[in-house]
Structures are given as structure tokens and as C-alpha cells.
């Protein structure tokens, strides 16, 4: 509606239109209480008429901060949606926006590169989502003035980290088996480069060894049902196999289908636990007991950790978000 000659409407334009000074316009925006109502109205009308919007660059230049948190996606997988959702919601709540960059498919990216790129963008702090190992993990030094949080199950010497307690979740599942009279637990892994698979395997090993049980050779899967099915065929022939822990629900389902095809029943002959609790979405009346991680919570924690550390970027903490065992009927109690 209004005349639109200049490209961008500045506070000065508003000030002239409203017949007040530049500073008064600034005050109307940032400290409205300190401006007389009649003046405020004039300014508001002028802003409306001219279609004024604060200039982000000028504002942050003056303030020395952006109100944005950087997010680097090294890897974007299924569970990442909920995590991003958590990050975004928490950011929203605390008045931050997100600035996002991503490792390009097929390209390598080190933490140092990611940090260098991010630090040229509008960010007050940053979150790295790191689900696979990266070359310079141990040697990486974060910019001293930019709080950096890494979402990863590994511990970092200098940066704060946040992670699902993958290891604890796996231990919990194993103990659930063992407490119900199972003498051993077989394991089907995910893709071997995935840290979550590695950690789940580690937790499984630890739980067995804690009870003096020698862990059997783990079966290698690739997250998908077919690899679980293949593993299930192998396991069906092992007479001592009464309990199987699969590194995700899809493979767990593959295992169950293979067992069934081999004439075995779950849970009567073999008990199974998976991870992620998502099978119920795809399988009606799903019976699979599963370890569920709270990815959303993970994102929330990561963002809060960054925001909390904005003033003290070199602080360091380690947060573990515990998993939950969602019980259904795929585990038999052998003591009964």
C-alpha cells in the first residue's frame, strides 16, 4: 500500500515519517515503557505504513550477538528428526533461531572445518550432531568464544557432549533377559561404522561379562529387516540361543520372522528385544519389547547446554539421556 521507493526501510525513515528522532524509534522497539504513549502511537503508525522491519545485520553488529545457535549435521538419519524437533522447540522457547549447515553427501568433514565454517555464520554457540567417528575428534579445539556441544556417545577432552545412554540401554535389555533366567544373549549389530551400534554392542558385552558370561560372536547386520532375517536363520540353528538383542527394531523383526519361518515361536522358544520402539507403527499388534531413547529430550538437553554455556564457552559437561524399556510380550520368563 505504502510507497516503496527505497529498497529497505530504515529506522531513520520511520523517524522522519513520525517526526521524531532515530533514537526514539529504537526505544519504541526495545524499551517501549520509556516512551510516551502518544509518541509510541505515531511511531507505530509510521512503522506500519512504511513496512519497517529491524535489520538483523545492523542490530547484531551493534549488540555483538546473534540470537542464533548453529547446528552442524554430520549425518542425517531417522532418529534425527525427533532430535532436531527437540533442538528447535527448545531454541524457540529460549528465543533463539537455528543456523544449520550439513556435511555434503559423500564428502568428509572434520570438526575443525565445521567449526571454521560455522564461526563465520551468525551463531552464538553451536551443536554438532556426530553419529560416526571423525578423524580429528580427539585433537579438535573449539573456538574459545563459541560454546560448542557435541551430540555423540564418545567423551570429548574439551567440549561438552550430550548423548543417549546407548550403552546403558543395552545393559538394561541384557539384564532384563538375565533376570528372567536366560543364560546367554546373542547380539545382532547395525552398520559397523555407526557409533550407536558400537555402543549398543559394548553395553551388551559389558552386561554379560559382569555376570561372568562369555559373549558369543555378534552377528553383523545393516539396520534393515533383511539382514535381521539372515541373522535369525543362523540363530535358529543354535540350540543354546534363547535370547536375542537386535540393535534396532527392524532387524529384530527380521529375526522374529526368520525364527517363525524355522518353526520357532517368539517368545516361547526364543525371546527378542529391539531398539527404538518403532515397530508398532508398522506391525499391527506388535509384541516386540524394545529399548526406546528419548531423542527429543536429547535435542532439548543439547540446546539447553549450549545456551547455559554461552557465557562460559570453555566449560565442559557430559550429559547422558537414559533409555526406557518398553515392555511387550517378546520376552519369556524362564523362571516361571
Residue 226 interacts with a second copy (CB under 8 A)?
yes
Cβ atoms of 265 and 281 within 8 Å: the answer is no
Among 129, 161, 198, 253, binds a second copy (CB under 8 A): 253
Query: Cβ of 112: how many Cβ atoms within 10 Å?
Result: 15
Cβ atoms of 326 and 110 within 8 Å: the answer is no
Residue 121 interacts with DNA (CB under 7 A)?
no
DSSP symbol at 161: E
Among 77, 132, 265, 317, binds a second copy (CB under 8 A): 77
Residue 162 interacts with DNA (CB under 7 A)?
no
Binding partner of residue 11 among a second copy, DNA, none, CB under 5 to 8 Å per kind? Answer: DNA
Q: What are phi and psi of 213, to 5 degrees?
A: -100, 135
Residues 148-187 within binding reach of a second copy (CB under 8 A): none
Q: What residues contact 284, with CB distance under 8 A and at least 6 apart?
A: none
Secondary-structure breakdown of the chain: helix, strand, coil percentages, each rounded to the nearest 5: 40, 15, 45
Grid cell digits, residue 310: 554461552
Interface mask toward a second copy for 119-148; x: CB under 8 A: xxxx--------------------xxx---
Antiparallel, parallel or unpaired: β 289-292 and 324-326 = antiparallel
Residue 245 interacts with DNA (CB under 7 A)?
no
Interface mask toward a second copy for 258-297; x: CB under 8 A: x--------------------xxxxxxxx-----------
Residues 38-97 within binding reach of DNA (CB under 7 A): 38-39, 52, 54-55, 57-59, 61-64
- Within 130-201, strands assigned E span 147-151, 160-164, 186-189
Beta bridge partners of 72: 101, 128
Residue 99 interacts with a second copy (CB under 8 A)?
yes
Residue 250 interacts with a second copy (CB under 8 A)?
yes
Residue 36 interacts with DNA (CB under 7 A)?
yes
CA-based max dimension of the chain? 89
The three-state secondary structure class of 189 is: strand
Q: Where do contacts with a second copy occur on this chain (CB under 8 A)?
A: 4, 7-8, 51, 53-58, 60-61, 64, 66, 68, 71, 73, 76-78, 80-81, 84-85, 88-89, 91-93, 97-102, 104-105, 116, 119-122, 143-145, 223-226, 228-229, 249-250, 253-254, 257-258, 279-286
Amino acid at each position: 500500500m505504502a510507497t516503496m521507493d527505497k529498497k529497505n526501510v530504515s529506522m531513520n525513515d520511520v523517524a522522519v515519517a513520525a517526526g521524531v528522532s532515530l533514537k526514539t524509534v529504537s526505544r519504541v522497539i526495545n524499551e517501549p515503557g520509556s516512551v510516551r504513549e502518544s509518541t509510541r502511537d505515531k511511531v507505530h503508525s509510521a512503522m506500519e505504513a512504511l513496512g519497517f522491519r529491524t535489520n538483523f545485520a545492523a542490530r547484531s553488529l551493534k549488540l555483538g550477538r546473534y540470537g542464533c545457535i548453529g547446528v552442524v549435521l554430520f549425518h542425517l538419519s531417522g532418529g534425527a528428526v525427533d532430535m532436531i524437533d527437540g533442538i528447535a522447540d527448545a531454541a524457540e522457547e529460549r528465543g533463539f533461531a537455528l543456523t544449520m549447515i550439513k556435511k555434503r553427501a559423500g564428502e568428509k568433514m572434520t570438526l575443525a572445518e565445521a567449526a571454521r565454517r560455522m564461526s563465520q555464520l551468525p551463531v552464538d554457540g553451536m551443536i554438532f550432531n556426530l553419529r560416526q567417528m571423525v578423524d580429528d575428534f580427539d585433537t579438535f579445539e573449539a573456538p574459545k568464544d563459541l560454546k560448542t556441544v557435541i551430540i555423540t556417545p564418545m567423551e570429548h577432552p574439551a567440549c561438552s557432549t550430550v548423548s543417549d545412554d546407548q550403552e546403558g540401554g543395552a545393559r538394561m535389555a541384557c539384564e532384563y533377559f538375565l533376570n528372567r533366567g536366560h543364560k546367554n544373549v546373542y547380539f545382532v549389530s547395525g552398520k559397523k561404522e555407526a557409533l550407536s551400534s558400537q555402543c549398543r554392542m559394548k553395553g551388551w558385552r559389558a552386561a554379560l561379562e559382569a555376570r561372568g558370561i562369555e559373549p558369543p560372536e555378534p552377528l553383523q547386520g545393516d539396520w534393515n529387516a533383511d539382514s535381521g532375517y539372515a541373522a535369525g536363520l543362523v540363530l535358529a540353528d543354535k540350540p543354546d540361543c534363547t535370547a536375542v538383542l537386535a540393535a534396532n527394531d527392524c532387524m529384530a523383526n527380521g529375526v522374529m520372522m526368520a525364527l517363525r519361518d524355522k518353526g520357532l515361536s517368539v517368545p516361547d522358544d526364543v525371546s527378542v528385544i529391539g531398539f527404538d520402539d518403532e515397530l508398532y507403527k508398522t506391525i499391527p499388534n506388535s509384541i516386540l519389547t524394545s529399548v526406546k531413547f528419548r531423542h527429543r529430550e536429547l535435542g532439548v538437553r543439547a540446546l539447553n547446554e549450549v545456551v547455559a554455556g554461552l557465557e562460559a564457552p570453555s566449560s565442559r559437561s557430559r550429559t547422558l539421556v537414559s533409555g526406557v524399556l518398553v515392555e511387550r510380550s517378546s520376552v519369556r520368563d524362564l523362571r516361571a
